[in-house]
Amino acid sequence: MKWFAQRRRILVGGASGLACGIAGGIAAVALLAGGASGGAREAGDSFITAGHLPPLLTVPGQRVTLRYAIVCPPAGGDSDAGRPCDGAGIVYIRSGHSGPFEPLALERSAGSVDGRFFADVPSAIASSPEGFSYYAVLRDRAHGTEMTLPAGGAAAPQASFPLRDAVTVDLGSHVFGSPRRASARVVSTQWGTGAGDVGLSGGKTSARIGPSSFDASPDGTVTLLDEINHRVQRWRGGAVVRSVPVDVPAAADDLAAAPDGSVYVLDGRSSAASTPLLRTFAADGRLVAARHIAERSWSQLRLGPSGPVVQQSPSEQWMPTGDATTAFSRAAQARHGDPGRPLDDGSQLVVLRAGMGEVRIARVVNGAVRQAWRITSQTPLGEVQVADRTGARVVLVVKAYTNTQDEFELLVLDGRGVVKRFSVASSEWADAAPLARFRLVGPALYQLGSTPEGAFVDRYDLEGVS
Amino acid sequence: MKPLIAFLGAFVAALLLSGVTAARSQTFQSANCNTATGQPTASLTRDWSQTYSLAAAWEGYQWGGGCWNNNDVDEAPNDPPEHYTGGEGGDCSGLTFKTWQEALNTADGGHYYSHRLRNVHGPYDAARFRDGIGAPNGTISKAYAGVMDGFASSSHVGMIFFRGSGGWDQIIEAKCEACGTNIFSETYRGQSAYGGIRRIGWTG
């Protein structure tokens, strides 16, 4: 009897141990899972960002309104779902590009389709012969957070320049369906993972991404970023001459190649709680540097006179990420923000796509407009893929589109107007970095395209443009 | 003493085994998300939608998904493509559905707030958004699309966070597993594969 009682106690002890253990195990995992996702900020937590389209280039008589979207949580959190936050802000503005700023309080409009907060620029400032410069301090009054836009503030404010003697070009309505044939196909690949193939991600129900960027050099070498296969391919004479592995995300990264063979890759991934990373790789694919850009997102990476430059958002400014000897911190990048892309001769090329069908371009030297163009079109114009100087001329590649058609329009411009003009098929079957479809190298324009079969790079010879 | 030893032995074994089993079956979605219904709201402003969608940034991408927290970490990275694994994040159409405060009933054009942790994708894929299917959804000429209108193709959809200076747009989108969810500069406006889309019934 005692033996049975003892056995019974052992069995009961074991059974209750099992029960408690199972419950404890599940509870522990649940707690750990919660902990892993715990720390999640609630809706009332504060953050602030903004949207702003700077009026980089104005035309005579233009009324200028600065508009801002202030993005921050509503005062009541979830209970205020659907309602805007309690934003406010002050624009500090001045005529020209030096001297003290004067404050201009932002007003609040009923709608937010172009940004809820606005300030009309006084006409005396808007019509200043040197243009004007400004920055904004934006606030979330409910939570006390604020931000300065651009981040460089008074040290690197937004700049706007007047176009007084711009060369005007009226493109009329774009005629679709007659694109020019390329001079040569210099890269031709199929989708895949083998040598000479390029990777493709996505599918029927998700975004397709192919080789996301490329660059070309004066000797005709094409550097192709095959980020899905984590490698950089170098093509010459229609064949791969070198392929090196690089540790980059399989996203829509941008690339710029330096003359010494090193490449810069700007990541198209959403880096956790930080800004995108610009990596520098040696010619053999070895990672030699990595730095975060100043702002939350970017539109393009190019090689400037002193190193890589990145056009960043929300400021829309071009910022160098370093010079020959120093990698710039995020704050230092912001302090060097400029409205235009720096060119080798020390000038800047400022570009604004205005309204629905206008592109404004200005070459700015020592803070003043030296040359300017206004290109207007009856057909809506999309993104400016290329605005670059070659010799005394400017090459512009811009998208012309309707709701159902699209082609690129190429223009070679000089001081009198259009020197050359033709259309290029868009060939955008797979996604790439937003402004990595074209590269201009001297008188050669290269295009990265894709089809259901694979990707290619075509060359268009712009004879006699320099 | 023996019953106590039996208890402790069984407890430890069960703790380990059940923990491993539970961990295997536990996903971000099963551990964190809920199936609450959407709450009717009177307002739907474009700038609130900017704020709401931005909470999904850095939370990852989940094909077929619609649940995320707000700690800026993708807790289920590296999923296989076009497979639902219960990970964190929305996909492109799930993010759009929740940001635009839509109802599961496609005939209902009202505004319904979904908490981030409400696990709902909604009845629309990218192609249905592109075609303006459902009472809350419409199409718009791309040249006129403004803040928190969108662009959709047969395979992808994103919303305009703000216009860029050179004719591109800053798009808030759940883009791909490796890309995650964030604001990216895109050229969808000029691509013929994409149509302009809008939420009907903005209140400001």
Distance from CA of B132 to the nearest CA of A (A): 14
Residue A86 has a pLDDT of 96
Q: Which of A37, A53, A405 to mutate to test the interface with B (most CBs of B within 10 A)?
A: A37
Distance from CA of B30 to the nearest CA of A (A): 10
Asked whether the predicted pLDDT for residue B8 surpasses 70, the reply is no
Beta strands in A41-177 (DSSP E): 49-52, 57-58, 65-71, 87-95, 102-105, 107-108, 117-120, 132-140, 145-149, 158-162, 167-170
pLDDT digits (tens, 9 = 90+) for A173-183: 999 999 999 99
The reply to whether omega before A150 is within 30° of 0 (cis) is yes
DSSP letter for each residue of A337-355: -BSSEE-TTS-EEEEEEET
pLDDT digits (tens, 9 = 90+) for A403-439: 999 999 999 999 999 999 999 999 999 999 999 999 9
Cα(first)–Cα(last) distance of chain A, in Å?
108
Distance from CA of A79 to the nearest CA of B (A): 9
Q: From CA A421, how far away is CA A381, in angstroms rounded?
A: 15
pLDDT digits (tens, 9 = 90+) for A103-156: 999 999 999 999 999 999 999 999 999 999 999 999 999 999 999 999 999 999
Asked whether the predicted pLDDT for residue A277 surpasses 60, the reply is yes
pLDDT digits (tens, 9 = 90+) for B119-178: 999 999 999 999 999 999 999 999 999 999 999 999 999 999 999 999 999 999 999 999
Question: What is the β-pairing status of strands A87-95 and A438-441?
Answer: unpaired
Q: Which residues of B touch A349 (CB under 8 A)?
A: none
Picking from B113, B156, B107, the residue whose alpha carbon sits closest to that of residue B136 is B107
Beta strands in chain B (DSSP E): 39-40, 66-67, 89-90, 112-113, 137-140, 150-152, 157-163, 169-176, 180-186, 195-199
**Cβ(B116)–Cβ(B89) under 8 Å?**
no
Residue A238 has a pLDDT of 95
Question: What is the β-pairing status of strands A201-203 and A206-209?
Answer: antiparallel
Q: Smallest Cβ distance to A382: which of B12, B74, B189? A: B189
Residue A272 has a pLDDT of 74
**Cβ(B153)–Cβ(A430) under 8 Å?**
no
Domain ranges of chain B: 38-199
Q: Which of B116, B184, B198, B200 to mutate to test the interface with A (most CBs of A within 10 A)?
A: B184
Picking from A438, A415, A419, the residue whose alpha carbon sits closest to that of residue A165 is A415
- pTM confidence score: 0.90
Of all residues in chain A, the one with the smallest CA distance to B171 is: A297
Q: How many Cβ pairs within 8 Å bridge chains A and B?
A: 325
- Rounded to the nearest 10 degrees, what angle do helices A2-37 and B2-25 cross at? 30
Cα(first)–Cα(last) distance of chain B, in Å?
72
Asked whether the predicted pLDDT for residue B7 surpasses 90, the reply is no
Q: From CA A426, how far away is CA B192, in angstroms rounded?
A: 9
Q: Smallest Cβ distance to B185: which of A16, A204, A299? A: A299
Q: What is the DSSP letter of B76?
A: S
Of all residues in chain A, the one with the smallest CA distance to B61 is: A270
Instruction: Note the ipTM here.
Output: 0.90
Task: Name the residue with higher pLDDT: A181 or B81.
Answer: A181
Beta bridge partners of B19: none
Of all residues in chain A, the one with the smallest CA distance to B49 is: A82
Q: Which residues of B touch A117 (CB under 8 A)?
A: none
Q: From CA A358, how far away is CA A94, in angstroms rounded?
A: 27
Which residue reads 């850009």 in tokens?
A: A293
Average pLDDT over chain A, rounded to whole? 91
pLDDT digits (tens, 9 = 90+) for A211-256: 999 999 999 999 999 999 999 999 999 999 999 999 999 999 999 9
Q: Smallest Cβ distance to A381: which of B165, B167, B178? A: B167
Task: Name the residue with higher pLDDT: A391 or A330.
Answer: A330
